[in-house]
Each structure stands twice: as C-alpha cells, then as structure tokens.
Amino acid sequence: MRSVRVVVVGGGVVGFSTAVCISEALPSCSVCLLADRFSPDTTSDGAAGIVFAAPFPDIPLERQKRWFKDSFDHLLELAQCQASPDAGVILSSGWQIFKDVPAVKKPFWSEFVIGFRFMTDGELKRFPHHKFGQAFTTVKCECSSYLPWLEKRFRKAGGLVEKRKVTSLQELSDFDLIVNCSGLGSRTLVGDTQMYPVRGQVLKVEAPWLKHFIRDGDGQTYIYPGVHSVTLGGTRQEGDWRLQVDPAEAESILERCSRLEPSLRKARVLSEWVGLRPGRRNLRVERELVLLQGRQVPVVHNYGHGGFGVTLAWGTALDAVGLVKHCLNELPLQAKL
C-alpha cells in the first residue's frame, strides 16, 4: 500500500529522473511531480545532451565519479536496447581538442566512457591550431525524446504529474516529504542566492554527413551530431538572464564551428535556441528539515547541475533516493501508516 506522500518539484531531466527512481525504488511512496514548465519548454529540452562533465570544486571526486558512472551505465544500457529510438539516447564518438596541453590530460570520467585515449599526431593534423586531443565514445541523450519517455515510465510506476507553479514550500505542507529539483528556480523557491544563470546559445543545423562530435576543450565551441540534426555551440555567459537569440552570437558560433569543420559552411540552419544553465559552485544533493505550518518536513534537494545536468541526472537521482530513504526512517509513525 502507498502511504507516504512525496512531492517532486521540477519537470526537467533532474526532476523526472528523481521521480522515476523514487517511485520505482520505494513502492510505499505515492509520488506527485509538480512543475510550471514541461517538455518541450524546459532548459533540459534544449541541451545537446552529450554525456561529459567537469568536476565541481568542493565535492569529493569519489562522489562525482559515482554520479557519472551511475548515469553513464544507465544511459549506455538505454542506447544499446530497443528503447533507444523512443528514449532519444545514442552512442556518440568523437574528439575533444585543446589549443594547449591541459593540466589534467585524463579527466575523472575517462575510466567510464568507452575507449578513452589520447589522439595521435596524425589525427590532430586536421586541427592545426590544436596541440592535444582526447578520443572517446560517450552517450548523447536528447531530452526532447528522453523527457516524454521518462514521464511515461514515471506514470507506469504510479506517479502523478501536475502543472503548477510553487511559490513557496509552505504550499506543500500536505506532503510528508518534498524533493526539490527546480534547477535555477531554486534561487527563488528556496532562496538560494548561490544559484546563477549561465546563458547558452546553440543552433541546430542539417548536416547528416557528420557523425563524430568535436568539442574544443575551452567549452566554447562544439559540434554534436544527433538523431535528426547537429547541435552547434556555444556560449557560456555567467549571470546573463537574456533568453532571446543574439544574431551576432549565432554568426560567431557558425564561424567558430566552420573553422573546425569547414563542411558546416554548407549546412542549413534549422533552429536557434537559448537556455539558462542552473549554475552553482557546487551541485546540491542534500537533505534538511523545513518548518511548514508548524511541522518539520524533510526536504531533499537535487539541483545546481550547471552544464552537466543531462550527464549527472540519473546518478544524483540515485543519491537523492538514498537521502529520501534516510528521511523515511526518521518520519513520525503516522506518516508511514
């Protein structure tokens, strides 16, 4: 019997991953997901969805490795099964190239992706302005398909979904436990002033001849072939809240990408998009007690994934489930009955 009422706030990749993981792991919970925006209108929807990460500075690397590995294994399995076309998850091979040899040549996730190696001098010849490169196979997870797929999986596990803006956690005092996956919305919802936007602009172009990704190690320029189009990026503008496409930036993206891959000069532009990454110095997966209508209610936070939310969503969702379990053990008996 389902008796503990859990609410998840957030309908992006973090919210739906967390809601799925809770409802499947904890059948004693009835889980309701609330969000004011759903696919195709979330930040997650526009992300290229390449599985790749840079470390958060103050989180133990072992924990970040676990997040990466859990996510990678989950998505790799999806990419290699019948569900792959529905879920929008595919394998993606390519190169990350650097103008100068980086201080860390082997990133922390190199042991989890497939076939990580340094590029040979021969391979680097096609990038004359770059001195060093990494070749590997990772996963690309396209949220415009993946979010609807996760929603179906969540509903199948008994989850409920409601479109609603939450202005204060006080509105959720009817629930036994709150899970906050509101991304950048956490700045207002829980007053987290450490949250800031990192604006990103991208283009989608038609270039079906491109099969390999190319990412400049500075994170500013990338070419990610996907299921129906190729994503070209990008920008990383901290503190910039503008959601409009900037034509000068679009031109600069096309120019930078075409320098890496000249055939892109012939590609047709299909769409342009801007999203705000939920920036935070350190991603937050932790629990606390909040006083709501005179009652201490456990809140599990899972937000602040910055530019790596698609990459880390499943791993941090599993971590959040662990925190939910802790909270359930401490709930007063009447909530569990």
Ligand X SMILES: Cc1cc2nc3c(=O)[nH]c(=O)nc-3n(C[C@H](O)[C@H](O)[C@H](O)COP(=O)(O)OP(=O)(O)OC[C@H]3O[C@@H](n4cnc5c(N)ncnc54)[C@H](O)[C@@H]3O)c2cc1C
- Residues in contact with ligand X by the rule CB under 6 A: 9-15, 34-37, 42-44, 46-50, 165-166, 181-185, 189, 200, 202, 233-234, 275, 277-278, 303, 305-311
Tell me whether residue 47 or residue 328 sits nearer to ligand X (CB atom): 47
Amino acid identity, residue 326?
Answer: H
- 100 is annotated as contributing to ligand binding: no
- 146 is annotated as contributing to ligand binding: no
Tell me whether residue 128 or residue 239 sits nearer to ligand X (CB atom): 239
Yes or no: say if 231 and 200 are a contact pair by the CB < 8 Å rule: no
Tell me whether residue 10 or residue 315 sits nearer to ligand X (CB atom): 10
- 138 is annotated as contributing to ligand binding: no
Distance CA 181, CA 176 (A): 16
Q: State yes or no: cis peptide before 247, omega within 30 of 0.
A: no
- 18 is annotated as contributing to ligand binding: no
Q: How far is the CB of 268 from ligand X (least distance, A)?
A: 20
Name the 3-class secondary structure at 59. Answer: coil
- 222 is annotated as contributing to ligand binding: yes
- 221 is annotated as contributing to ligand binding: no
Tell me whether residue 202 or residue 267 sits nearer to ligand X (CB atom): 202
Residue 175 carries which DSSP code?
S
Tell me whether residue 127 or residue 213 sits nearer to ligand X (CB atom): 213
Strand order in the sheet with 4-9: 160-163, 29-35, 4-9, 177-180, 295-303, 284-292
- 268 is annotated as contributing to ligand binding: no
Tell me whether residue 234 or residue 315 sits nearer to ligand X (CB atom): 234
Distance CA 303, CA 282 (A): 9
Count of alpha carbons within 13 angstroms of residue 166, beta-carbon side: 25
Yes or no: say if 140 and 261 are a contact pair by the CB < 8 Å rule: no
CA distances to 58, 242, 256, 284 from 238, rounded to whole Å, are: 19, 11, 20, 18
Reading the block at residue 214, the tokens are 């190319």
Q: How far is the CB of 152 from ligand X (least distance, A)?
A: 17
Q: How far is the CB of 337 from ligand X (least distance, A)?
A: 29
The annotation places the binding site for D-dopa at 222, 277, 307
The annotation places the binding site at 36-37, 43-44, 166, 222, 277, 306-311
The annotation places the binding site for FAD at 36-37, 43-44, 166, 306-311
